[in-house]
Amino acid sequence: MSSGPDVGGRPRLLGEYDMDFSYVLYVSEMSDECGDGEIIDILNTSRKNNVKKSVTGMLIRKDRMFLQYIEGPEAQVRELFEKIKSDERHRDIRVVHQGPITDRVFFDWEMGFADELNIQPLQWKWELDKLSLFSLAEGADDCLNFVKAFMGTPGLAANSPSC
Ligand SMILES: Cc1cc2nc3c(=O)[nH]c(=O)nc-3n(C[C@H](O)[C@H](O)[C@H](O)COP(=O)(O)O)c2cc1C
């Protein structure tokens, strides 16, 4: 049994049927030198690289914290997460959930993004005005449900920082 999100069977891409899939959900703190320009670079790199590696997911920035979900072929996700962990634009990386997954949550998102402004449609339900991303991550299942709610919110896929 997969411990990954149950999202009701979104299709895999052609050529992926015999691959093991996995996902990682983590939170981290932005380093002092990380600002909007760096986030735009991260998003541009992610959207360019992830499409080639068949990785999909989302990144949320709030109050100098990140929450990121990545998923795709197991080897690609492992390799990417190793790179992400050693990236000096953030620190204090805490894995909330990781493991095998049967189907993608983010079928066609190279890297969705939201910050304070465009996360507002989700704010009321998750009390994000009161809760930090690190506190949200303490309730691991809740955090995963938040990711799924994000996926169901129109207009977040191609965002960049709202500066
Ligand atoms: C919070 C955060 C999220 C990131 N997410 C991704 C990602 O999804 N895909 C990616 O390729 N790089 C991501 N990066 C950047 C990687 O750490 C690394 O800089 C990049 O993959 C290097 O790409 P290159 O080998 O093409 O230069 C992220 C970095 C940070 C700080």
The pLDDT mean for the chain works out to: 83
CA-angle at 76, arms to 17 and 96, nearest 5°: 100
Residues with CB under 6 A from ligand 1: 42, 45-46, 49-50, 59, 66, 68, 70, 80, 83-84, 87, 89-90, 111
Could you tell me the pTM of the whole model? Answer: 0.86
Place 13 in a pLDDT band, splitting at 50, 70 and 90.
low
Give the Cα separation of 7 and 30 in Å (integer): 30
Place 1 in a pLDDT band, splitting at 50, 70 and 90.
very low
In terms of phi and psi (left: phi > 0; alpha: psi -120 to 50; beta: otherwise), the region of 72 is left
Determine the distance separating the centroid of ligand 1 and the alpha carbon of 11, expressed in angstroms.
Answer: 25
User: For the segment 62-79, what is each residue's pLDDT rounded down to a tens digit?
Assistant: 999 999 999 999 999 999
DSSP 113-152: EE-TTTTHHHHHHHTTTT--HHHHHHSHHHHHHHHHHHHT
What CATH number has the domain spanning 21-151?
A: 3.30.70.100
- Weakest-pLDDT range from 10-19, 109-118, 131-140: 10-19
Determine the distance separating the centroid of ligand 1 and the alpha carbon of 47, expressed in angstroms.
Answer: 9
Q: Is the pLDDT of residue 22 over 90?
A: yes
